[in-house]
Structure 1
Amino acid sequence: MARMFAATNIKLQARIALFLLLTGTVWSAHAEIIPARIFSDHMVLQRGQDVPIWGSAAPNTSISLRFGSYIYSDRSDDSGNWKISVPPQKAGGPYTLTLSGDGETVIHDVYFGDVWLAGGQSNMEWKLSWEINDSDKIIDAANFPLIRFFDVPSEISPTPKKDLSGGTWKKTTPENAAEFSAVAYLFALKNHTEKNVAVGILDNNWGGTPAEAWMSKEALLALPDYRARTQALYQPDIDWPAQFALNDRNAAEKMHRLSSREDALESGAHRFEFATTGWSAQTLPQEFEHIAWLRREFTIDKVPETAILELGDLQQEAFVWINEQLISVEDWRSQNAHYTIPAEMLKKGRNLIALRVGNSWHNKPYVGRADQLWLQLGERKLDLSGGWRYSNHVEPPIPEHIRYEHKPTFLYNSMIYPIRSYGLRGVIWYQGEANVAEAPLYHDLFSALIRDWRNQWQREIPFLFVQLAAFMQPQNPQPDSSWALLRNMQSRTLSLPGTGMATAIDIGDATDIHPRNKQDVAARLWGEAKRVSFGEDVLSRGPTYISHRLNGNKAIIKFAHIGDGLQVSEGDSVKGFILADSAGKYHRAEAKISGDTVIVWNDDVKKPTALKYAWADYPEVNLYNSASLPALPFAIDAL
């Protein structure tokens, strides 16, 4: 992804020219008025609140903004900066905004409606075209010209940037919508259809990024656990342009080599005659390093009419061959390495499966999934977990590159700071996976992020977020789950006013960190938006623990937000509870609904000391309220 830094005057002029070409914004000759890039044709401005519009001009220039019959004015300061505030407006449009001074700038097709910033990492970034449930149907129906997206350029910077490097507002058409955030689009669709207003989305996210990358230097220096790592990035002797240039070269070489068919074929390691002297025996699943080559031979007496190869979820850059014929090229968005093999590709006797796998994320490809490594040959099913030969010396090691987008402040500086005053209805946020390794710190970190953004926007913007989905192979009990702990840290953040949480605990995928059910995520976020931002009396939260009491060896748990009552989605009993005995060891527990409570017990635990619900990487969950919203995970450390 492009990373933009300080530009010369020539580059600045080129950027301005490109801006005009892409946005269609009309400037007169010798125009000096340059609005911030986010202010361009087709934009949506937030209704019902003061809307600041800002930019640059020649120093000490009188500037006016004409909007309908109203004219608002300002004067640029000694540095050429100006800002004009438009008073609250009702929803509507289209309008034309005209900026006048030494020249004139006209911005067309402007609407007032609801504007949301869609932030976070890859589950918010995930595009409609990246295979979600019913993605083709959704894209084909995406004809909503009053739903508009502004894709904030994915960039890094060690210091705050005055403006974005680019970006245009795009109306919703099938062609455009394919590249929209799936969660944000489905959320916007509900806002648009239910409130009958234009909706603008600031699509502002980057896969794999931690929360600290999206925060200001000042906010992070106030957190003891992040102070040192933030200060390390602000040493005066760091030559950032040189560091970034080297890193970009490494990244480009790495991505070329991982995705290059020519490099994959050049070694010949997919061919029968390739010598595997020095290769090691391996079983799968397994983590490797650099570019991993794997070969597995098998013999057949008779070629079957049908054959199916299952390699699990590769989700990385992979090439797959059968008998020297390339059958698939996978990347990180691939969901399942499941292949139907034509009979003519197989032969009686010796056959060969060859894999070339790399990982663009951290140079450590992971190959295979438990119980998802097999080859179906007619009625014969061959286990492929063993019998592999492996080498990562076929090709030179791939270069490491530093992911600066993970560094504290680097995304705030380039993607938040330049738009920090743009009028918002609120924020929708899907992030946390990148912070699981430091889950105990997340409550303070995430709370500080929300306060930081509210300070930047100078108002208490509603902040709605997604509680992480279930992920990883199920283990029960798993009282020390880091994923469960991070979800708990997210729940605790609800103590901040003006926040709402949509849990995805029941719609995860054990083998894919990117669950493809984005519809329920968007619907639950919208439910919380109606409650938090629009002030509606709606049941938008799942059953939430509020109190407990002991009755002998039974724990009786009381819930709020149950609607017309608690219910289970399947079976008769409630799943997902674990109880600790007097020694602190956790056991699976029985549970049943009784009114607005759940009774939890284990006959072998005579004196329960602690209790947890849905506390695992991938927990069992079947407790819901009458709105079909799942109960929130929780822990009681002392019964």
Structure 2
Amino acid sequence: MRGIIITVLLCMALSGYSNIRLPGIISSNMVLQQLDSVKIWGWADPYEEVTVTPSWSPQTYKATGSRDARWEVKVATPAAGGPHTIIIKGKNIIVLNNVMTGEVWICSGQSNMEMSAQKGLQDVKAELPSAHLNNIRFFHIPKTTALYPQDDCAGEWAACDSVTLQAFSAVAYFFGKRLSTALNVPVGLIAASWGGTTAEVWTPDSIVHNDPVLEEAAAKIVPSGMCPHLPGYAFNAMIAPVTPYTIAGAIWYQGENNTGTAHTYKQLFTAMIDGWRAAWKKDFPFYFVQIAPFRYQVKNSGALLREAQLQSAAHHKTGMVVITDLVADTNDVHPANKHDVGLRLANFALADTYHRQGIPFQSPVFSSMRIHGNKAILTFDHADKGLMIKGATATEWMIAGEDKIFHPATVAIHGHTVTVSSKMVKAPVAVRYAFRDAAMGNTFSREGLPIAPFRTDNWSL
């Protein structure tokens, strides 16, 4: 009993010396989502009074530390601008300076999202001398894992300059730069990526473990390199801590390490997206990159993963950018051109989220096929201005009859329709386009976006 009394008294004594504190994501130089009600939170003594006063408003927001030493307020943010100051008072005072309001996006995935100037990317290296862009702010979450969802992570916000850009995601940077320029607003980019990871580690583990199909697929993952492989491990440590932070949306570049379980990727990926939206309590847009052509060891594994991604693009408020034309070497799983990847993601967001007109952003996608004699006639969505071939002859078009043997096809384009035929196929049944791991087709929309690889059949590979 005496020990209990001493412990209680000690806790009471120590509480007099504790200070309010903030999570890493709430810091000077941050960007808060504009024209929204954003959460600012932290820790304090139980029942301690905390006030939050932003410089853009005469209002002071008040909170009281809970029994478990937490506090939070919701603050109304103004239109894009700044810099602002936020003063947070409890037993101590914290002053957040150089705070902007604008658009906030989380940028996640594996190595192609993670790659930076430090990895030798020339397109972002060329940006370094002129990279002092105060309207672009970075928050980089270091690689870490956790068994359970965490409430804080390391990191702090920093303005974009030639130093901070060195180690930041090139895709995210080019995405953010395009948004900031087009919208004339500050843009905050939260980078949380890890090369070599599967989608399972970014998915709340309860989603995987409560689904027998996903759990079976996760069990087949072979650990590689220094990467986590257990469901939820990266989500718990690198995503969960920032889910209280208000965002506009997410961009994603991943899939290469799920080629071995491509048959379940659509189910996993769309469940992951829904899991993130549930964690944020917001139905935000989610735009992703279809994996690039590459010569995988297991034949057709890349083609099947791209097919799963194409199917995932039908999920609510998602969008997929196709990059089959942005690859210089199909033996390299890391295409060097990150500028155009970021640009295509940004164009999708500008048109779809921000409703900017006149921006080509969707690749043509196969819609329907009908057979007329010895020809297959295909129509495409997102090809209102028509299709075109880059080069003398269309490549990567294949056609087959009931024997399921595919032959190179002759192609004729009329507006947004494609007529496909072959002297070797008298009665067509199926057509495939760029449906190989390393295929780089040359059929585009008139606006210059490549057709998404597809097949009209569902035959076993």
Verify same fold: TM over 0.5. Answer: yes
Structure 1 residues 127-146: aligned runs within 5 Å:
127-146=116-135
User: How big is the shift at 1:30?
Assistant: 4.7
Indicate the residue corresponding to 1:557 in structure 2. Answer: 378
* 1:156 Cα offset (Å): 0.9
**SS of the residue 1:454 aligns to:** helix
Runs of 4+ in 1 over 6 A off after TM superposition: 229-232
Letter in 2 for 1:426: G
| Offset at residue 536 of structure 1 (A) | 2.9
Is structure 2 residue 431 aligned with structure 1 residue 611? yes
- Say whether residues 1:411 and 2:231 are aligned partners: no
Following TM superposition, by how much is the alpha carbon of 1:109 offset from its aligned partner in structure 2, in angstroms? 0.8
Aligned residue type for 1:500? G
Unmatched segments (≥5 aa) in structure 2: 1-15
Residues 217, 230 of structure 1: CA spacing in aligned structure 2 closer, same or farther, 3 A cutoff?
farther
| Contact 1:610-1:638 at 8 Å conserved across structures | no
1:285-340 alpha-carbon deviations (Å, 9 max, x no partner): xxxxxxxxxxxxxxxxxxxxxxxxxxxxxxxxxxxxxxxxxxxxxxxxxxxxxxxx
Give how far 1:580 is off. Answer: 2.1
Matched, 1:155 2:119: no
Alignment partner, residue 181 of structure 1: 169
Quote the offset at 1:557 in angstroms.
Answer: 0.7
How far residue 228 of structure 1 moved from its aligned partner, in angstroms, is 5.8
Given the alignment of the two structures, is residue 628 of structure 1 paired with residue 448 of structure 2, yes or no? yes
Corresponding letter in the other structure for 1:116: W
Residue 532 (1) aligns with residue 355 (2):
no
Counterparts of 1:400-549 in structure 2 under 5 Å? 403=226, 405-472=228-295, 481-508=300-327, 509-537=329-357, 538-549=359-370
* Alignment check: 8 A CA contact 2:204 2:275 kept: yes
Greater shift after overlay, 219-228 or 70-79?
219-228
In structure 1, what is the Cα distance between the partners aligned to 2:101 and 2:236?
27
1:216 and 2:204 correspond: yes
Q: In 1, Cα distance between the equivalents of 2:78 and 2:313?
A: 31
Counterparts of 1:47 and 1:481, CA distance in 2: 44
Residues 23, 42 of structure 2: 8 Å contact kept: yes
Partner Cα distance (2:131, 2:119) in 1: 15
Task: Report the Cα offset of residue 225 of structure 1.
Answer: 2.2
Mapped to 2, the partners of 1:163 and 1:567 lie a distance apart of: 50
Q: Residue 62 of structure 1 is aligned with which of 45, 49, 63?
A: 49
Matched with 2:37 is 50
CA distance in 1, matches of 2:418, 2:293: 22
CA distance in 1, matches of 2:230, 2:78: 39
1:151 Cα deviation after fit: 0.6
Q: Among 589, 593, 601, which residue is 2:421 paired with?
A: 601
Inter-partner Cα distance in structure 1 for 2:427 and 2:218: 47
List aligned pairs for 1:365-404, cutoff 5 A. Answer: 403=226
Kept in 1: contact 2:196–2:227 (CA 8 A): no
SS in structure 1 of the partner of residue 319 of structure 2: strand
Amino acid at match of 2:37: D
**Is the partner of 2:200 in helix, strand or coil?**
helix
Counterpart of 2:419, as a letter, is I
**Counterpart amino acid of 2:394?**
V
Question: Cα deviation per residue 1:154-202 (whole Å; 9 max; x = unaligned)?
Answer: 10111222211x2121211112211111100011111111111111110
CA distance in 2, matches of 1:135, 1:412: 28
Structure 1 contact 593–599 (Cα < 8 Å) conserved: yes
Distance 1:169 1:88 in 2: 18
* 1:401-423 deviation line (CA, Å, top 9, x unaligned): x7452221110110111111211
CA deviation string 1:122-176 (max 9, x = no partner): 0000002322243432112211012111111210111222211x21212111122
CA contact (8 A) 1:506 1:630 kept: yes
Distance in 1 (alpha carbons) for counterparts of 2:183 and 2:253: 23
Q: Is the 8 A contact 1:133 1:518 kept in 2?
A: no
Any conservation in 2 of the 1:31–1:105 contact (CA below 8 Å)?
no
Q: Quote the offset at 1:63 in angstroms.
A: 1.2
Query: Who is 1:272 aligned against?
Result: none
The sequence identity of aligned pairs, in percent, is: 34
Report the number of matched residues. Answer: 438
Counterpart of 1:440 in 2: which secondary structure?
helix
CA separation in 1, counterparts of 2:287 and 2:335? 19
The answer to whether 1:86 aligns with 2:80 is no
SS at match of 2:60: strand
* 1: CA distance, partners of 2:354 / 2:317: 11
Gaps spanning 5+ residues in structure 1: where?
Answer: 1-28, 233-360, 363-401
Higher-Rg member (1/2): 1
Report the secondary structure of 1:449's partner residue: helix
Instruction: Give 3-state SS (helix, strand or coil) of 2:313's partner.
Output: helix
SS at match of 2:257: helix
Question: Is contact 2:18-2:45 (8 Å) kept?
Answer: no
Paired residues of 1:31 and 1:104 also in contact (CA < 8 A): no
Alignment of 1:250-329 (within 5 A): none
Q: Of 32, 40, 49, which aligns to 2:19?
A: 32
Q: Distance in 1 between matches of 2:231 and 2:332?
A: 27
TM-score normalised per structure 2 = 0.91
In structure 2, relative to structure 1, the CA distance for the partners of 1:590 and 1:620 (3 Å cut) is farther
Give the corresponding residue for 2:3: none
In 1, Cα distance between the equivalents of 2:365 and 2:227? Answer: 38
Deviations 1:358-385 (A, max 9, x none): xxx95xxxxxxxxxxxxxxxxxxxxxxx
Q: Report the residue type matching 2:246 in the other structure.
A: G
**Contact 1:470–1:507 (Cα < 8 Å) also in 2:** no
